[in-house]
Amino acid sequence: MTVSPLPRLGDVVLGRDVAGRTLRISGHPASGRVVLSIWQDATCKATVRLAPEDVPHVVEMLTRAAVAPAVATADVPDAGSAG
């Protein structure tokens, strides 16, 4: 089995949930793609290939998810209540 080298154009983000889990972000200008890949130790588990025009939307959604205010359960209407 061969292991892909760490990205030359990109970075690696360490996961916080499982030891050895990483997200690799790599740019591939020749093919016009940005690849997000999830690794467990030396094994690639999944990839998503994005077109460059998709990247701003992904960044926006990551930013929103990271800074979204927590919604208290008391603020969420009960599905069974008339309201």
Return the number of other C-beta atoms located less than 10 Å from residue 36's C-beta: 17
CB proximity list for 36: less than 8 A, separation 6 or greater: 23, 24, 25, 47, 48, 50
Q: What is the pTM of this model?
A: 0.72
Map out the domains of the chain as residue ranges.
10-68
Any idea of the CA torsion for 54, 57, 61, 66, to the nearest 10 degrees?
100
Residue 70 has a pLDDT of 67
Residue 12 has a pLDDT of 93
- Residues 51-81 have pLDDT tens digits of 999 999 999 999 999 886 766 555 556 555 5
Average pLDDT over residues 21-32: 94
